[in-house]
Amino acid sequence: MTSTDTGARQPRVVVVGTGFAGFHCLRTLERRLPDTELVAVNPADFMLYVPLLPEVAGGTLDPRRVAVPLRTKLPRTRAVLGNVTWIDLVGRTVTVVDVEGHRRDLTWDRLVIASGSVTRLLAIPGVAEHAKGFKSIAESVYLRDHVLRQLELADQTEDPAVRRERTTFVVVGAGYTGTELAAQGMELTRQAKQDARWILVDMADRVLPNLSERLSGPAQRILEKRGVEVRLNTSVSEVTGTRVRLTDGSEVPTRTVAWCVGVRPDPIVEPLGLPTTKGRLNTDEFLTVPGHPHVFAAGDVAAVPDLARPGEITPMTAQHAQRQGRVAGINVAASLGVGRRKPYKHRDLGFVVDLAGAQAVADPLHVPLRGWPAKIVTRGYHLLAMPTNRLRVAFDWIADLLTRRQVVHFGLVPEDGISLADADGPPRPQDRVDGFAGSRSG
Ligand SMILES: Cc1cc2nc3c(=O)[nH]c(=O)nc-3n(C[C@H](O)[C@H](O)[C@H](O)COP(=O)(O)OP(=O)(O)OC[C@H]3O[C@@H](n4cnc5c(N)ncnc54)[C@H](O)[C@@H]3O)c2cc1C
């Protein structure tokens, strides 16, 4: 079905994506532009607090805790549930395919592109078919249930080879996502009182390769003390349904490969034909797309000059996306005559990595911490950064300290619902008509 939506009397701001950048942009716009029509296009009716997904996979947090509802947190914004499949910069429209497959065009006076990133696939045989991504609530819940199911099925088999496959879990990528997932996974299987082998693989020569070296050593020691096998300078050459072959020639029998090698910017920007850096849409320091003063971009999808590190672009982190969202909101408002625009500048405040149990590593203001001090900083940071659900998250954490974790699985997420096969690739012109089924967080 096609409908064309024209004739907006008030100016209309359309924000594509309500992740960290889009959500905080809209919050700013709701305060600054009370008379402007605000529209958010996003496949889900919540903002996903992605950094706590490993705790959902580990079973510490209920999945609803990491979902920030748009309806109550952005009361002035009209949320359109769907994916933008095409952006027309000349006609000033976006094409939206809603969650029921209907297509329509939305006009805009200001456009903010904040559609984040998608899981990065590498051309390795079997990855798209057999590995599992880790970027959405569905993927986290699936992974948790899958791990518990494997443990139960391992208990039922008489065949030691099958048992080995079912109780071995491989996490590929030792950035903060993979490192936290391996730590949480090990804790989950420990709480299920079953022997399991967790292997963390990375082609870099240290875990957390993109963070300060002062975090890598302690994080690796904590993981290894817990029993996680860390294989560095190693990648994956093939994945099948029952094993993974590594580049050092070894083969690991497993039915679980979690794919955490990183992300690439949302491919929606590719067909725009505008200048990009590493696939991210170039902006100036005001988050405006050069040559298009009414188009803004922020977060993982945008290549924003890093004024704190001249010559570089800002890294893909929630810390930057959230702040860029706010600045994009201020600058959209300024472009409509409200307030003055400001350049984006933020100096990294450090990073926090939760390693399950009582362990974490963190470098707040670049002071390296580990153990309980790091854990307190890590949890305090998340509680402050979360736009809602703080009390519920705190209760879940306290309950996890005082009681045994519930190790049951519901199997509500089907395996084919989280396929990595369509995670990559830009929309094509025909997607304007047929719809675009990419893997989106939410
Ligand atoms: C498991 C995990 C853990 C992480 N932990 C940390 C951490 O501890 N600290 C940190 O700083 N960073 C962390 N990150 C990175 C951080 O989550 C991202 O940098 C941040 O989410 C980027 O924000 P964003 O708004 O650009 O994109 P996102 O938060 O990804 O939001 C993009 C939104 O756009 C929607 N969308 C995508 N395409 C379309 C479309 N075509 N139409 C409409 N909507 C669309 C998506 O569904 C999503 O809701 C982590 C990432 C992962 C995957």
In tens, the pLDDT along 191-230 reads 988 889 999 999 999 999 999 899 999 999 999 999 999 9
Question: CATH class for domain 2-119+264-348?
Answer: alpha beta
Q: How far lies 69's CA from each of 40, 72, 77, 236, 325, in Å?
A: 13, 6, 12, 38, 17
Amino acid at 232: L
Q: Which atom of ligand 1 lies closest to the CA of 20?
A: 25
Q: Among the atoms of ligand 1, which is closest to the Cα of residue 82?
A: 43
User: What is d(CA 329, CA 342) in angstroms, rounded to the nearest whole number?
Assistant: 10
Question: What letter represents residue 243's amino acid?
Answer: R
Neighbours of 401 (CB within 10 A): 10
Region 371-376 average pLDDT: 96
- For residues 46 and 64, give the distance between their C-alpha atoms in angstroms, rounded to a whole number: 10
Any ligand 1 atom below 6 A from CB of 24:
no
135 lines ligand 1 (CB under 6 A): yes
Mutate to test the pocket of ligand 1, among 317, 319, 361 (most ligand atoms within 8 A of CB): 317
Q: What is the pLDDT of residue 420?
A: 79
437 confidence band (pLDDT: 50, 70, 90)? very low
Query: Torsion-angle region of residue 236: left (phi > 0), alpha (psi -120 to 50) or beta?
Result: beta
Q: Is 83:436 a contact under the CB 8 Å cutoff?
A: yes
Query: Does the beta carbon of 114 sit less than 6 angstroms from any atom of ligand 1?
Result: yes
Strands of the 360-362 sheet, one edge to the other: 352-354, 360-362, 369-370
| pLDDT at residue 82 in the model | 96
Looking at the CA of residue 134, tell me the nearest atom of ligand 1: 1
- Distance (Å) from CA 47 to ligand 1 centroid: 9
Helices vs. strands in the chain: H and E counts, helices first: 12, 26
- Kindly state if the Cβ of 50 falls inside 6 Å of ligand 1: yes
Within 8 A by CB and 6+ apart from 26, the residues are: 15, 18, 38, 40, 74, 77, 325, 329
Centre of ligand 1 to C-alpha 143, Å, is 19
Is the distance from the beta carbon of residue 317 to the nearest atom of ligand 1 less than 6 Å? Answer: yes
Closest ligand 1 atom to Cα of 352: 8
Q: Tell me, what's the pLDDT at 5?
A: 52
The CA distance from 139 to 157, in Å, is 26
The pLDDT of residue 413 is 82
- Give the separation between CA 424 and CA 415, rounded to whole angstroms: 18
Note the pLDDT of residue 1. Answer: 36
d(CA 11, CA 109): 6
**For residue 19, how far is its CA from the centre of ligand 1 (angstroms)?**
5
Is the minimum distance from the CB of 314 to ligand 1 under 6 angstroms?
no
Distance CA 212, CA 217 (A): 10
* Percent of the chain at pLDDT exceeding 90: 85
Q: Would you state the structure tokens that stand for residue 348, as one six-digit string?
A: 């990294």
Confidence band of 418 (pLDDT split at 50, 70, 90): confident
333-358 pLDDT, tens digit per residue, is 999 999 999 999 999 889 999 999 99
User: Does ligand 1 have an atom closer than 6 angstroms to the CB of 381?
Assistant: no
393 burial via Cβ count (<10 Å: 0-12, 13-18, 19+): buried
Q: What is the DSSP letter of 161?
A: H
pLDDT above 70 for 78? yes
| CATH classification for the domain delimited by 121-261, as one of 3.50.50.60, 3.40.47.10, 3.40.50.1000, 1.10.10.10 | 3.50.50.60
Query: Is residue 106 lining ligand 1, measured as CB closer than 6 Å?
Result: no
pLDDT digits (tens, 9 = 90+) for 301-344: 999 999 999 999 999 999 999 999 999 999 999 999 999 999 99
For atom 3 of ligand 1, which residue has the closest CA? 51
- Determine whether the shortest distance from the Cβ of 18 to ligand 1 is under 6 A: yes
Q: Are 196 and 151 in contact (CB under 8 A)?
A: yes
* Residue 135 Cα to ligand 1 middle (Å): 8
Residue 118 CA to residue 280 CA, distance in Å, equals 12
Phi-psi region of 23 (alpha: psi -120 to 50; beta: other; left: phi over 0): alpha
- Do β-strands 280-282 and 236-239 pair in parallel, antiparallel, or remain unpaired? unpaired
Residues of the chain with CATH 3.50.50.60: 2-119+264-348, 121-261
